[in-house]
Amino acid sequence: MTSGAGFLSAFSPNYVALMALRFLVGIGLGGGPVLGSWFLEFVPAPSRGTWMVVLSAFWTVGTIFEASLAWVVMPKFGWRWLLALSSVPSLLLLLFYAITPESPRFLCMKGRTMEAVDVLEKMARLNGAQLPSGKLVSDKNIELDEVSESATLLAATAKAAKEEENDNIKEDEGSDFGGFKSVSKLLSPKLLRATLLLWMAFFGNAFSYYGIVLLTSELSNGNRICAKQEVESVHSNNSSLYKNVFISSFAEIPGSFVSIMIVDRIGRRLSMASMLFTSCVFLFPLVFSRTEILTRISLFGARLCISASFTIVYIYAPEIYPTSVRTTGIGVASSVGRIGGILCPLVAVALVHNCHQTTAILLFELVVFLSGVAVMFFPFETKGCRLNDTEADMH
């Protein structure tokens, strides 16, 4: 959907068609949280944070690539070529679909233990290792140890495993129409506090991240507009805009390195909180002065910290949920974050355009600060902890 609608949008005959096709692109991109949850379920706990950051770093690579593409393509060929070329990477991903393994945890939760064993055996062969002896048992009330840490697989007879597999498959068929059951579990007593705080963190991170990206160009434009008081005569230089976005995107590279260094050392909560509060420190000087150099340095530092925090919250989110609702949990949280991304240009950037730059900066400061406070109240730390498969597994 992402690649198809993205490519067709390059041929949009009018604005309405363009918006409709970009809406479909957004729906396709909404499946992104599945990737993080899927990858998480293959990585051993001791190095889970580091490898999740490595995965997230390719978001930065994509951002820089897209900014470079816009810088080269837009001035000469226009937006249609940019949209068409931007759809190619998503299309190329489909080439890997046939060799992509399903998550063994998901297969076990669905009672498909034989398929799970096949995936685990392939993983063992590729890593030059051997699976522990015994039979893999799928039971929603039994805690499944992560493969990297378990000394033995739970033993059972093949007959019992097969009967349980059939029972679980029947139980899962049609049991969660439209995902409403999974969504309701997110608000269960064990998950309610974590879910609400996670929504706050996602909202704040998305609002601040996209806001800082927009402020890279909007704040300097707003300063020129307000200084001249002649909105009609001021036009942003497109080449300069792409250059600024390209340069500011590089702030996410050190942000990724910072995430790698701290996420498995000081934990998820402290890492996120420290990055969010440090972002407040970077933004604070802009309340009093917005010279070109100060603005560039402050926004670079703030984007570094926010990108690091955003990366870590995408690690923490799937870790706090059991396998049964993991992708649903991170998907709903990501949707709440998208609301923050939608409101950001409508509120904060509008303030800049209306010459209320100080108010806009203070708004970002407040949102980032409250996000940091929400993170500090997360109910538990997940550093080094094994993943849970059901709510009954949670302590």
Give the 3-state secondary structure of 1-62.
CHHHHHHHHCCCCCHHHHHHHHHHHHHHHCCHHHHHHHHHCCCCHHHHHHHHHHHHHHHHHH
Same domain, 194 and 256: yes
Reported as half-sphere exposure (CB side, CA atoms, 13 A), residue 182 has a value of 19
82 inside domain: no
Same domain, 132 and 248: no
**What type of residue is 57?**
A
53 inside domain: no
Q: How far is CA 327 from CA 130, 180, 286, in A?
A: 29, 13, 38
For residue 357, the domain's CATH number is 1.20.1250.20
Angle between helices 79-86 and 2-9 (to 10 degrees): 160
Same domain, 133 and 195: no
305 inside domain: yes
Q: What was the pLDDT predicted at 10?
A: 93
Same domain, 214 and 294: yes
DSSP state of 345: I
Q: What was the pLDDT predicted at 330?
A: 84
Q: How many structural domains are present in the chain?
A: 2
**Residue of 143, 100, 138 whose CA lies nearest to 122:** 100
Q: How many CB atoms lie within 10 A of CB 230?
A: 9
Same domain, 105 and 218: no
Residues of the chain with pLDDT under 70: 138-180, 216-245, 248, 388-395
**Residue of 197, 210, 166, 232 whose CA lies nearest to 370:** 197
**Reduced to 3 states, what is the DSSP secondary structure of residue 229?**
coil
The encoded tokens of residue 13 equal: 């005959």
Q: What was the pLDDT predicted at 379?
A: 84
pLDDT, averaged across the chain:
78
DSSP state of 153: P
Q: What was the pLDDT predicted at 347?
A: 78
375 inside domain: yes
209 inside domain: yes
Same domain, 346 and 268: yes
Residues 215, 259: Cα–Cα separation, whole Å:
23
Please give the backbone phi and psi of residue 153, each rounded to the nearest 5 degrees, phi first. Answer: -85, 150
DSSP state of 321: S
178 inside domain: no
Q: What was the pLDDT predicted at 219?
A: 62
Residues 263, 45: Cα–Cα separation, whole Å:
12
DSSP state of 358: H
Same domain, 207 and 301: yes
For residue 197, give its domain range: 188-223+237-393
177 inside domain: no
Same domain, 114 and 201: no
DSSP state of 355: T
Same domain, 198 and 270: yes
152 inside domain: no
Q: What was the pLDDT predicted at 60?
A: 80
